[in-house]
Structure 1
Amino acid sequence: MNSNDTTLDQVDAESIGARIDWGLAAATGRRLARPGPKTTAYTLDAAYAELADAATRAEAPVRELTGLADGLRVPTTRILDRKQWVDAASRSMQSMLGVSGEADTSGLAGLSAKAGGVQAGGLLAFLSGAILGQYDPFTPDPDTGDPGVLMVVAPNIIAVERSLKVVPSDFRLWVCLHEVTHRVQFSANPWLRQYMIDNLEILTSDAGESTGEIIGRITETLRGDKPREKGVLGAMQLLQTPEQYEAFNRMMMLGTLLEGHADHVMDAVGPVHVPTVANIRAAFDKRRTAPRNPIQRIIRALIGMDAKLAQYIRGKAFVDEVVGAVGMEQFNTIWTSPETMPRPNEIDEPRLWMQRVL
């Protein structure tokens, strides 16, 4: 599908995004976002400067190891606080969903948009304290206008490095290696952005089903013999149309690949450029799997953070095995097109992907 064509799916995606008052979402998120760890202005300024430098220094070893984005300019990196990240994330969601203009604030539509804005703002506030860094392929680079901005949230990195008791300069570069890998993935393979947009259009489109049809489809699925996923994935399988669930699976596989590839790169590059990488990885993995209080567990389950953790683990195992078997150059065949992306049955069986694609 040509990105310049206006389709019904694009209109539907825009209408869903327009049901949320994103201005209210950003304002709510900023108001609810907790302040970062206490630090002096000097320490904070030094952290901002070091993170900006680390993001630039990470580019060369990531490109060298991956063989991607060679010769392309180093894009902008934005060092943000939590409130700034909320604003950036709100704008990114609007760009991702193709929302243009302001939400309708009149009548019932306005009430719905405001309710959605408050809910979205609460979620953004929660995430603002958890995100270390993020590559946003949808927001234009302020310097060039090209799609794609790398964001690093300084207060969260300071908080985590303190809690883990790791060397700050090493941890900051280690985090940037992961996030820069995402930047390189999209810079070297521009089709990935449109691939995400195409699948999001399907996920956010109105399937036109009546309540009765939805209930009938769910009942038929529950009574059928077709195997179903567990947990959040199983719920998505029930609630979505077959076309939407296929798009959801494609997005899950893409996310698993992107996160696993970034984790593989940060660990492969780390020993040369990050002296204490072994201590950092051990402490970070322990923190990822540490027990959490019941409220945290509920929130993490609802927004899929535990599924996100599984993406890192499964994706890294996939990339480790393929690169170990055929090398990085052959592995890079995976970036050729949507047809070379791993399928759900191949993520945990990399040999199946190698047989099919290589």
Structure 2
Amino acid sequence: MNGLIDWGIAGRIADLAATGDSPDPGDGEALEAAVDEATGAVEHYTGLESTEGVPDPEWVSRRQWAQINLDSLRQAIAPLEERLLSGPSLPGPISGGLNAVLGSLAGAQVGALVGYASRRVLGQYEFPVLGPERRPRLLFVAPNLEEARRELGGEPETVLRWIALHEVTHAVHFGAAPWLRDHLRWLANELLSGSRLALGPSEVAELAKRAAGTDPRRWLGELLSSDPITLLAPPESRALINRTQATMASVEGYAEHVMDAAAPQLGEEIGDLRFALE
């Protein structure tokens, strides 16, 4: 393990958690048709047109989705790990042993969260907010869509068309306004660079005192359940955090409005499904 998170453990836990994968990758033609239809509806209502085109849709399994998102997460927090590891640490083998234990715990937690999410996510417009830039992807998790269809009692085509509308709305929005993706990346990088990621001697001493004077299980539980933004961000970053949250709320709110407005173009059954999902 070379970082703060044991990514090998994270991958194995996520793989175990992503159970119930279907061997059927899904109907490729139906997926392409649903995305094309949704693209037309969104562009017609908004007047927007993606300058880079909507990404080609991809059927993925739960395990594939988990691996894609673990890879993105690993790239995103690599600078954070590097900065933390370059800070003060305990001497000798104590430091290595503690890092290994905490890395394993963090890896198990991350893997469990991503693995659980892989069983719930239906579709995703996926792009890196941090880390190296690359072309966005449009992912659809085949076994989850099939489960959603069974739970809702809808036709497979109807469920697929609704989820395609949801993800394509984001794809068109970001594709028509490339500055928005750049803006989110800038906000994320500013938050990261402004975070208090290295502990000074007094802070190390205070943490050691707390650990020694507290039930270790309780102390570790508090540490693992803490909000990472609150833990890492200094008070002067609060305005930037609020700005980031406001940007994301605007993006999601606009997408919800567009989906509601564009859905009637796809037929009454899409609106009925939207109501059932609320």
Q: Per the shorter chain, which TM-score range?
A: 0.7 to 0.9
Partner of 2:126, secondary structure, is: strand
Partner of 1:75, secondary structure, is: coil
Deviations 1:71-118 (A, max 9, x none): 54332222111111100111111233355999x9x9233433232111
2:237 to 233, 236, 244: 244
Q: 1:46 to 1:156 in 2, by over 3 A?
A: closer
Q: Does the Cα contact within 8 Å between 1:21 and 1:117 map onto a contact in 2? A: yes
Q: Does the Cα contact within 8 Å between 1:97 and 1:200 map onto a contact in 2? A: no
Q: Does the Cα contact within 8 Å between 2:54 and 2:168 map onto a contact in 1? A: no
User: Which residue pairs with 1:292 in the alignment?
Assistant: none
User: Which residue pairs with 2:71 in the alignment?
Assistant: 91
Q: 1:72 to 1:236 in 2, by over 3 A?
A: closer
Following superposition, the deviation at residue 237 of structure 1 comes to: 8.6
1:116 to 99, 106, 109: 106
Taking CA–CA contacts closer than 8 Å with sequence separation of 6 or more, which of the two structures ends up with the larger relative contact order?
Answer: 2
Provide the C-alpha distance between the structure 1 equivalents of 2:114 and 2:51, rounded to a whole number of angstroms.
Answer: 35
Provide the C-alpha distance between the structure 2 equivalents of 1:236 and 1:27, rounded to a whole number of angstroms.
Answer: 24
**Size of the alignment, in residue pairs?**
239
Give 1:330-345 correspondences, 5 Å limit.
Answer: none
Deviations 1:226-273 (A, max 9, x none): xxxxxxxxx789654223333332232222222222222222111111
User: Which residue pairs with 1:152 in the alignment?
Assistant: 140
Q: Does the Cα contact within 8 Å between 1:33 and 1:125 map onto a contact in 2? A: yes
Residues 1:266 and 2:259 are matched in the alignment? yes
Q: 1:22 to 1:192 in 2, by over 3 A?
A: farther
Q: Does the Cα contact within 8 Å between 2:5 and 2:104 map onto a contact in 1? A: yes
Amino acid at match of 2:42: V
Q: Does the Cα contact within 8 Å between 1:170 and 1:276 map onto a contact in 2? A: yes
Q: Does the Cα contact within 8 Å between 1:26 and 1:121 map onto a contact in 2? A: yes
User: Which residue pairs with 1:74 in the alignment?
Assistant: 54
Regions of 4+ moved over 6 Å: 235-238
TM-score for both structures, normalised by structure 2 = 0.72
Provide the C-alpha distance between the structure 1 equivalents of 2:142 and 2:256, rounded to a whole number of angstroms.
Answer: 20
TM-score for both structures, normalised by structure 1 = 0.58
Provide the C-alpha distance between the structure 2 equivalents of 1:202 and 1:24, rounded to a whole number of angstroms.
Answer: 30
Partner of 2:128, secondary structure, is: strand
Q: 1:198 to 1:84 in 2, by over 3 A?
A: same
Following superposition, the deviation at residue 277 of structure 1 comes to: 2.1
2:96 to 96, 101, 107: 107
Give 1:275-354 correspondences, 5 Å limit.
Answer: 275-285=268-278
Residues 1:126 and 2:106 are matched in the alignment? no
Q: Does the Cα contact within 8 Å between 1:24 and 1:118 map onto a contact in 2? A: yes
Provide the C-alpha distance between the structure 1 equivalents of 2:60 and 2:105, rounded to a whole number of angstroms.
Answer: 27
Following superposition, the deviation at residue 276 of structure 1 comes to: 0.4
Deviations 1:204-239 (A, max 9, x none): 432556549x99xxxxxxxxxxxxxxxxxxx78965
User: Which residue pairs with 1:19 in the alignment?
Assistant: 4
Amino acid at match of 1:149: R
CA RMSD of aligned residues (A): 3.4
Q: Give unpaired runs (5+ residues) of structure 2.
A: 86-94, 208-226
Partner of 2:196, secondary structure, is: coil
Identical amino acids, percent of aligned pairs: 30
Q: Give unpaired runs (5+ residues) of structure 1.
A: 1-16, 140-144, 216-234, 286-358
Partner of 2:154, secondary structure, is: coil
Amino acid at match of 2:115: A
User: Which residue pairs with 2:14 in the alignment?
Assistant: 29
Q: 1:77 to 1:264 in 2, by over 3 A?
A: same
Q: Does the Cα contact within 8 Å between 2:122 and 2:145 map onto a contact in 1? A: yes
Provide the C-alpha distance between the structure 2 equivalents of 1:114 and 1:61, rounded to a whole number of angstroms.
Answer: 46
User: Which residue pairs with 1:221 in the alignment?
Assistant: none
